[in-house]
A and B are shown apart, each in its own frame.
Chain A
Amino acid sequence: MSLTETLIAARSRRSPGLRGLLPRPDALLPYAVPAAILILWEIAGASGVISDTVMPRPSTILATAVQMTLSGELFTHLGVSALRALAGLVVGGGIGFILGVSNGVSRLSETLTDSTLQMVRNIPHLALIPLVILWFGIGEGAKLFLVALGVFFPIYLNTLHGIRNIDPQLIEMGRAYGMTPTQQFRRIVLPGALPSIFVGLRYGLGIMWLTLIVAETLSASSGLGYMAMKAREFMVLDVVVLSILLYAALGKLADSLTRALERRALKWSPAYAGR
């Protein structure tokens, strides 16, 4: 056996065996930086470099989380916030999707509503908070309204954009092959607009959490935002940090779920092939 042959043989022999046993190093890589930060943070807190009254240590926060989980308090607030987020997403996203579809498909509907919507879009929806509190008080209505309004626009705009950008040649093919308008919509328009709708959904999710935090912080008697507010009043810093971390975790969870859904739904697209 020549030297090169030996090297090739050695290389091909080595790779599968070890790889199968250990987790792939590149799968762990994204977690390296957060882990390092947590460790440094803990050391800085334990050695007194960072005072516990400024920033509680990860271990303290973890203990608080365990204690609040056992008492059931955490899940009550978490559940309330998640429910509000979901309700706002369904209402705002649903209306956005329906209007996006009808304006993408019908000239009349677009002429009637699009310029009005473009005007409303330029109002930052959080600027409506004083008005919304006057209208709805601090009840669930106010939060549902704000979240729904925030989620509405990205989904509306991206659904409309997706439908507008359908390849007209495909529509003509559908027509030539005898598809009814309903079939054309179901088999061509909707799947063609889907990548764009997913973009809207992911934007919408970001806005959903942001709106909910602000709304719950300003006016609520339950939910993560309320939990953080109350903790601030009583100077319970570890609960404040815990609620912030939970928002981050929920946001990441929602994004990961959407990504997984996107990968499944768009697996035909070369952009997702092999991923």
Chain B
Amino acid sequence: MQAVELLPRDITVPPMLRDNRGAAVSIRNVTRSFEGNRVLSNLDLDVRPGEFLSIVGKSGCGKSTLLRLIAGLDQPSSGEVRIDDRPATQAGDKLRIMFQEPRLLPWANVADNVAVGLRQGPDPQAVTEALASVQLADKAGVWPALLSGGQRQRAALARALVSHPSLLVLDEPLGALDALTRLTMQNLIRDMHAKAGFTAILVTHDVAEAVALSDRVIVLGQGGILHHVEILRVGPTQRGSAELAAIEAEILDAIFAA
């Protein structure tokens, strides 16, 4: 069964069969230095509406820095990040971020934590729906301290998605979870992405995870993009298939060649 195909790099994949709600991200000539140390230099990147993009690379290569620029939490030293043709800082609740830590408010119950994601006042129905979509409907009134690590991260996902964002950025959101919970969460994120059609940008150190989830993987290094891999999925993807393994190997080569 031919489940995965590699495409030549310059072919644009048409915006999937999704309800086209994803935001377009355009990064133009972005440089970010910290005290003279250039972490990103003249970086260009376009993310298509609805695309699932993963960013991999060695530790310290600037993945989090790039993601923070996209999320508007940090400003480039030069260059520009635009989301749907407006500056990243003005994205408002179109843009949501998920961190490696759940970052739930310990003094608010799960439902109130999810409601943090709503800009325009409380909306119990939206919160209930978001919790149901991450299978936490029965935990609405529970303190975060009483949840497991995976449940906390699911609550954080519900908080990120309750406002129906058009762009979700994730910085190693599953890095602290055990392998089994991680697989479950990967499936959850992939299903949510397929259903809601937002654009997703994922930073991960797990190449298999990047390949399993993404439409495209980029390898970051030396201040720029070292490698692009497009992954076209036709039908259901099989984890551990020979095609995926080949792509993983290609990406790992690119990372270590740097």
Contact = CB atoms under 8 A, between A and B. Distances in A.
A58 B73 CA distance: 68
Interface string A165-195: 0000110111111110000000110011010
Interface in A171-227: 172-179, 187-188, 191-192, 194
A266 B108 CA distance: 11
Nearest to A170: B103
A173 B106 contact: no
A271 to B, nearest CB: 9
22 contacts: A169-B99, A169-B103, A170-B105, A172-B103, A173-B99, A174-B116, A176-B71, A176-B72, A176-B97, A177-B93, A177-B116, A177-B117, A177-B159, A178-B93, A187-B105, A192-B107, A194-B107, A268-B143, A268-B144, A268-B145, A269-B145, A273-B143
B145 A172 contact: no
Which 3 residue pairs spanning A and B have beta carbons closest together? A173-B103, A191-B107, A268-B107
A191 B145 contact: no
Interface of B: 71-73, 92-93, 96-97, 99, 101, 103, 105-109, 116-117, 119, 143-146, 159
Contacts of B99: 169, 173
A273 B145 contact: yes
Interface of A: 169-170, 172-179, 187-188, 191-192, 194, 266-270, 273
Contacts of A187: 105, 108, 116
A267 B146 CA distance: 12
Interface centre among A169, A172, A178, A270 (most CB of B within 10 A): A178
Contacts of B108: 187, 268
A188 B105 contact: yes
Contacts of B143: 267-268, 273
A178 B92 contact: yes
Given A176-B71, A176-B97, 20 more contacts: A170-B103, A170-B105, A172-B103, A173-B99, A173-B116, A177-B93, A177-B116, A178-B92, A187-B108, A187-B116, A188-B105, A191-B105, A268-B106, A268-B107, A268-B109, A268-B143, A268-B145, A269-B106, A269-B145, A273-B146
B99 to A, nearest CB: 7
A176 B73 contact: yes
Contacts of A192: 107
Interface centre among A170, A188, A268, A270 (most CB of B within 10 A): A268
Nearest to B106: A268
B73 A172 contact: yes
A270 B103 contact: no
